Structure 1
Amino acid sequence: MGNQSNIVKKLSSSDYKNSTKEALWELNAVLMSHHLLDFIGDIKFRQAIQGVLCRGESYHQLRRVIAKSHGRNFRGSSDNQIMNWNECARFLTNCIIYYNATILNDVKLESDSVEDFKRSELIKRFSPSGFSYLNFQGKFAFLNDTEMNDMNALMKRLYKVKL
């Protein structure tokens, strides 16, 4: 058994065929077969994988909505501006998901603490990447006031909503 650097050297070698590569290809085939059999035979495993794929797709859907905002006028004319815009859009996407996840987590914790398990189970089905309530069109002014959003007040209002 070799250490990591030896394996990387052998895999990076110019030889198309060597025993280490062939062994790793065989191991990969075995693991892929095992994964495929699990996927076929276990409904919960299949549902979990499909859920992860849907979450990934919803991330990209939110990312596309942000990219299309303001008629794509934020793109830029140079490579650096385009790269900067894409990084900002990814950052904004992650901020929205974090904000939603924080809200959903707080509502779920409150539901669990008052033993409202029906509401708690319903909250589990909501996606942190949901954005139907957001408006990405128009002009926005940031940092006009120094007041931060009061998350506790928002949570209190959300607890009162009947689901």
Structure 2
Amino acid sequence: MGARVITNFAELYPIQFSGECSRSLSNCIIYYNASILSNMLDYRESNGKDLDVLKHISPVAWQHINLYGRY
């Protein structure tokens, strides 16, 4: 049994929409993380603290984001 083939736009639209929503959410999280890192960089620079710690942190990390709404 082979993979199901999408034959019309009505079937393709929800898949495209879902992908666009996922990309938008990912971009929001990356922007949020980059903003936090930028503030941390400014704080550490102004207080003369070591900046090497920030070299190992990626704005693409998701561990601190709760996508399920439960605490």
| TM-score class, shorter | 0.7 to 0.9
Distance 1:78 1:130 in 2: 32
Q: Which residue of 1 aligns with 2:36?
A: 103
Q: Which runs of 4+ in 1 moved over 2 A?
A: 135-139
Q: Which runs of 5+ in 2 are unaligned?
A: 1-9
1:78 to 3, 11, 33: 11
Equivalent positions of 1:51-90 (< 5 A) are 78-90=11-23
Greater relative contact order (Cα < 8 A, sep 6+): 2
Q: Which residue of 2 aligns with 1:130?
A: 61
Q: Which residue of 2 aligns with 1:3?
A: none
TM-score by length of 2: 0.74
Q: Which runs of 5+ in 1 are unaligned?
A: 1-76, 140-163
RMSD of equivalent CA atoms:
1.9
Q: What count of residue pairs does the alignment treat as equivalent?
A: 61
Larger Rg: 1
1:102-159 Cα distance to aligned partner (Å, 9 max, x none): 100111111001111x2x21012101011111222358xxxxxxxxxxxxxxxxxxxx
Inter-CA distance 85–123: structure 2 relative to 1 (3 Å threshold): same
Q: Return the offset for 1:101.
A: 0.6
Aligned to 1:96, the other structure's residue is in SS state helix
Equivalent positions of 1:1-163 (< 5 A) are 78-116=11-49, 118=50, 120-137=51-68
Inter-CA distance 79–99: structure 2 relative to 1 (3 Å threshold): same
Q: Return the offset for 1:79.
A: 1.1
